[in-house]
Amino acid sequence: MKPRISLIVAVDSINGIGKKGKIPWHIKEDLVRLKNLTKGRIVILGRKTYESMVWYYDRSGRPMPAKLYIVITHDEEHKTARENVKTAHSLDEALENGQDEEVFILGGAQIFQQAIDMGIVDRLYLTQVEGDFNCDTFFPDYSEFKKVLSEKNGEENVIKYKFLVLEK
């Protein structure tokens, strides 16, 4: 059976997702949601997002929750000491190596853009964060994802946000 391909992303009011290699807001509930969605699952991510994620987990001393991370890079020599990390050299190769009932694409912008352009995305786990966070990296247009499967509002440290699950 074809796996469901899902994107997990948090966007600000103008679809910004990152600034200087990091996510420019801190919403604990969103990080918990990410952890719960990816725990024991297969995730695919760009090399830059992988590096910022490793930095975050190393700093917090928490284990990375997914069962397998497939990192996309052009670097044929890319190496990691972690057992649950594999390398792929395109999104197609990553998807071939990531067979599961649902596979999660975690970004960043380059990988999101390629996945949306390829028309392979079945579901978006979206967090809409209120405000303009001066991002330098953006999420592509997702207006074709019109079907709302669930919706929940939240607020943390004066930041308002909405969790949405969307399909086409």
75 vs 151, which CB is nearer to ligand NAP?
75
1 vs 60, which CB is nearer to ligand NAP?
60
CA pseudo-torsion sign 22, 129, 142, 97: positive
2 vs 79, which CB is nearer to ligand NAP?
79
Contacting positions for ligand NAP (CB under 6 A): 9-10, 17-18, 21-23, 46-49, 52, 72-75, 89-90, 106-111, 114, 137
1 vs 64, which CB is nearer to ligand NAP?
64
Residue 143: CB minimum distance to ligand NAP, A = 18
Side-by-side strand order, sheet with 147-156? 85-88, 68-72, 42-46, 102-105, 4-11, 123-129, 159-167, 147-156
Cis peptide before 154 (omega within 30 of 0): no
Residue 48: CB minimum distance to ligand NAP, A = 3
Residue 22: CB minimum distance to ligand NAP, A = 5
DSSP letter at 19?
Answer: B
Residue 144: CB minimum distance to ligand NAP, A = 19
| Residue 87 to residues 25, 76, 82, 104, Cα–Cα distance (Å) | 28, 9, 11, 15
83: three-class secondary structure by DSSP: coil
